[in-house]
């Protein structure tokens, strides 16, 4: 929903630009659960639905979890400069539509983004006022256990995700905040507190400082 633009003495007063909250984590760190729970706790926080060329997993809905598109359409998007950032993750393309992010920000809406490390680094250059948060699993052993327990990946894919996870964890120092997700509730409280602390005044609703 578009925020009203007040008029003051004939001049338009725009809401402050919405803030981007970028959350990255290796697969299996529990990022999706944390992001979903944070969205439920924080009123008015938007979520950026990414575009991807990977196949839909059971339980996922097009336009809700992702916009599932073809490789051809994704590449056309690259040529047309449609993506605010994009990356190839685990052999598939993932990207964020620039026009949607820019329109939401202009309307003063804060946005939560679940983005891999490569994309997060691109966004910090494009939107230097963004807030970046890295979610760590308690250990690589726990991560492997969570990934194999999920049962959505074949063996080769699992090994590939673990290698990527190790590289991603080596990049955590580039983030503003690091949260260790050993127990959901304390990790969620930290995530919510960080977001509330940095929200744009346009959308903030009595959050903790
Ligand atoms: P999954 O396929 O498991 O949903 O996501 C794989 C990885 O892609 C995750 O690390 C997720 O954060 C990342 N990802 C999801 N959407 C985007 C996006 O729009 N851009 C980038 N760069 N990564 C994304």
Where do the structural domains in the chain lie, given as residue ranges? 15-48+99-202
pTM for the full model?
0.88
Higher model confidence: residue 152 or residue 34? 34
Residue nearest to atom 24 of ligand 1 (CA): 115
Confidence band (pLDDT; 50, 70, 90) for 209?
very low
Residues for the chain: how many in total? 209
CA of 92 to the centre of ligand 1 (A): 9
What pLDDT is attached to residue 13? Answer: 74
Mean pLDDT to the nearest integer, 107-135: 97
What pLDDT is attached to residue 15? Answer: 80
Higher model confidence: residue 13 or residue 43? 43
What pLDDT is attached to residue 202? Answer: 59
Confidence band (pLDDT; 50, 70, 90) for 203?
low
Q: Does domain 15-48+99-202 have CATH number 3.40.50.1240?
A: no
DSSP string, 105-168: HHTT--EEEE--HHHHHHHHHH-TT-EEEEEE-S-HHHHHHHHHHH--S-HHHHHHHHHHHHHH
What pLDDT is attached to residue 206? Answer: 43
What pLDDT is attached to residue 4? Answer: 53
Give counts: helices (H), strands (E), the chain: 7, 11
Per residue in 43-76, pLDDT (tens digit) is: 999 999 999 999 999 999 999 999 999 999 999 9
CA of 87 to the centre of ligand 1 (A): 8
Residue nearest to atom 15 of ligand 1 (CA): 115
Residue nearest to atom 21 of ligand 1 (CA): 115
What residue ranges line ligand 1, CB within 6 angstroms? 27, 50, 54, 85, 87, 89, 94-96, 114-116, 118-119
Per residue in 140-191, pLDDT (tens digit) is: 888 888 777 766 667 777 888 788 889 999 999 999 999 999 999 999 999 9
Q: How far apart are CA 54 and CA 115, in angstroms?
A: 15
């Amino acid at each position: 929903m578009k925020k009203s633009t007040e008029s003051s003495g004939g001049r338009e007063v725009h809401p402050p630009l919405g803030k981007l909250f970028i959350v990255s984590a290796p697969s299996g760190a529990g990022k999706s659960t944390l992001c979903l729970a944070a969205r439920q706790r924080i009123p008015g926080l938007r979520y950026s639905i990414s575009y991807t060329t990977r196949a839909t997993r059971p339980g996922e809905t097009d336009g809700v979890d992702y916009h599932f598109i073809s490789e051809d359409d994704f590449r056309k998007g690259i040529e047309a400069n449609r993506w605010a950032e994009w990356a190839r993750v685990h052999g598939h393309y993932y990207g964020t539509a620039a026009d949607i992010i820019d329109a939401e920000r202009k309307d003063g809406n804060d946005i939560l983004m679940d983005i891999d490390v490569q994309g997060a680094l691109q966004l910090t250059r494009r939107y230097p006022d963004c807030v970046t948060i890295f979610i760590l699993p308690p250990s690589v052993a726990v991560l492997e256990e969570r990934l194999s327990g999920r049962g959505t990946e074949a063996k080769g894919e699992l090994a590939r995700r673990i290698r990527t996870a190790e590289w991603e964890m080596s990049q955590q120092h580039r983030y503003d905040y690091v949260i260790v997700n050993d127990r959901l509730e304390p990790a969620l409280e930290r995530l919510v507190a960080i977001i509330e602390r940095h929200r744009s005044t346009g959308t903030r609703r009595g959050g903790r400082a």
